[in-house]
Structure 1
Amino acid sequence: MVKLAFGSIGDSCSLGSFKAYLAEFISTLLFVFAGVGSAIAYNKLTSDASLDPAGLVAVALAHAFALFVGVSMAANISGGHLNPAVTFGLAIGGYITILTGIFYWIAQLLGSIVACFLLKYVTSGKSIPTHGVAAGMNAFEGVVMEIIITFALVYTVYATAADPKKGSLGTIAPIAIGFIVGANILAAGPFSGGSMNPARSFGPAVASGNFSQNWIYWVGPLIGGGLAGLIYGDIFIGCYTPLPVSEDYA
């Protein structure tokens, strides 16, 4: 059962909420800077626009490490979402209100956009790589791939951070979340790009001016994140947990 709650202006515009939005902005900026920057750096070092297996591993590790650090930095302030799909999945389970979630989205998208323009500046105008499905795949296959891997990510968030019965798992949540993202990039990178994160895809699209397949990285992750919130929240948690519970990742 969906547990969406709209929320109030007072709660979403409090000083604590603005601190949470700033934390999401900074953490998403640093995550995207490291993730996109790793792809730019690899292309520069190899003079090759396509990633070979070593490059895929390097980019996956960069995203895993950066997300682990980003979640850890923001966890006690905003919950450390860094991802509109995570925010949406937690909203489905009643862990964050719609209104606060919208402000989270704005902060995350702005952080990604700023990160990509900073990368463009500090690399002397290097092209910003965007997500797109591989040759031979169609858009629907890309959406399904993104649904599956984002489901895995948000399910991991619930299991290690949002479940009230998580116990000591909460202390390793950022590690588990970073690991699942790295593993999913290794699995899906050569096919859909392995985004799992609309903000991670939107920033590069804005900086490069290429929105041709960007919708895939909204539809797929939001469906996957929403399904994870619905399934884990209803089957394994089974009760509404009100906002805010900032120390519990949400």
Structure 2
Amino acid sequence: MAFRSTIVRRAQDATDRGTLRAVLSEFISTLIFVFAASSGSSLAVDKPAALLIRALATAFALSVAVAVGTNNSGGHVNPAVSFGAFIGGNLTFNRCFFYWIAQLLGSIAACFLVKFGTQQSVPAIGLSGGVNVGRAVLLETVMTFGLVFAVYATAVDPMSRTKDRLENIAPIVIGFIVGANILVAGPFDGASMNPAASFGPALVSWTWKNHWVYWVGPLLGGGLAGFFYELLFVSSSQQSWRRDYF
């Protein structure tokens, strides 16, 4: 695997017009996603139905947010996805950093809009009783690995753009994997897979207990997925002609 030698040295990314447009796109896409997902969580009052409502709201909103942001920024909507793209050599350090800032600000704005628009609290994601932080980190790592692996397979891998336009279904695939993970692991640790989506509710509700879990697990899973997909599935010959999707 050949990592790009200039990946951490492109200072011009900070002022590049394309980067500014991409960062704005990440802010808007993340706001759209977190607003819908947080609304679904805050308005669901029946506990058995809450999980299904959150899974559906998150899956639908994420599919739309990814599709909306794809042309301008790649539609990351998630610091773990951006980190995986950086580790895999598909995103510069500067652009990854600015994406993170935009994603966090988009999440914060969305949560404040939900709080004041619905007059409902925005619950922070947290661990269920009996789930320790070690198991939660493992769950978040595994789920985010699957998410970022799906992103690579359907949107980043150059082969996905030469076989029946697989990237056209990328937003749906990404939404489905996140929704499925919420149904499976939501009762245990909330199934975040997204540090930005966890940060906004934590800030608005000022609830920080075990918040670090929702950074360590997703970033570890996303970084591993980006590294191993590039190492195992993207050949050096493909690297020579692939375009910068992100």
TM category, shorter: over 0.9
The answer for the alignment partner of 2:108 in structure 1 is 113
Deviations 1:40-83 (A, max 9, x none): 1112xx4xxxx21x321111011000000000001000000000
* TM-score (normalised: structure 1): 0.91
1:37 pairs with 26, 39, 47, which one?
39
Structure 1 position 237 matched with structure 2 position 234: yes
2:21 pairs with 19, 32, 36, which one?
19
Find the aligned partners of 1:25 and 1:121 in 2 and give their Cα distance. 19
Which 4+ stretches in 1 moved above 4 angstroms?
none
Structure 1 vs Structure 2 CA RMSD: 1.7
Find the aligned partners of 1:135 and 1:2 in 2 and give their Cα distance. 45
Deviations 1:104-141 (A, max 9, x none): 000000000011111111122x2211111110010010
The answer for the alignment partner of 1:146 in structure 2 is 140
The answer for the alignment partner of 1:159 in structure 2 is 153
Deviations 1:145-170 (A, max 9, x none): 00000000000000001001113211
Aligned residues with identical type, % of pairs:
51
2:167 is aligned with what amino acid?
G
Contact 2:33 2:62 in 1 (8 A): yes
Contact 2:144 2:218 in 1 (8 A): yes
Contact 1:2 1:92 in 2 (8 A): no
Contact 2:42 2:122 in 1 (8 A): yes
Find the aligned partners of 1:203 and 1:42 in 2 and give their Cα distance. 18
Find the aligned partners of 2:123 and 2:204 in 1 and give their Cα distance. 9
The answer for the alignment partner of 1:100 in structure 2 is 95
2:129 is aligned with what amino acid?
A
Contact 1:94 1:241 in 2 (8 A): no
Aligned-pair CA distance for 1:209: 0.8
Unaligned runs of at least 5 residues, structure 1: none
Q: Which of 126-135 and 83-92 deviates more?
A: 126-135
Classify the secondary structure of the residue corresponding to 1:212. Answer: coil
Contact 1:25 1:110 in 2 (8 A): yes
Find the aligned partners of 2:137 and 2:235 in 1 and give their Cα distance. 28
Deviations 1:175-215 (A, max 9, x none): 10011010011111001101000000000011111111110
Find the aligned partners of 1:40 and 1:55 in 2 and give their Cα distance. 9
Find the aligned partners of 1:74 and 1:182 in 2 and give their Cα distance. 19
Deviations 1:207-232 (A, max 9, x none): 11111111000000000001101111
- For residues 174-213 of structure 1, what are the structure 2 equivalents within 5 Å? 174-213=171-210
1:117 is aligned with what amino acid?
F
Find the aligned partners of 1:129 and 1:245 in 2 and give their Cα distance. 40
Find the aligned partners of 1:245 and 1:122 in 2 and give their Cα distance. 41
Cα distance change on mapping 1:144 and 1:26 into 2, 3 Å: same
Find the aligned partners of 1:226 and 1:181 in 2 and give their Cα distance. 17
1:90 is aligned with what amino acid?
A
Aligned-pair CA distance for 1:24: 0.2
Contact 1:185 1:193 in 2 (8 A): yes
Q: Which of 3-12 and 73-82 deviates more?
A: 3-12
Contact 2:88 2:230 in 1 (8 A): yes
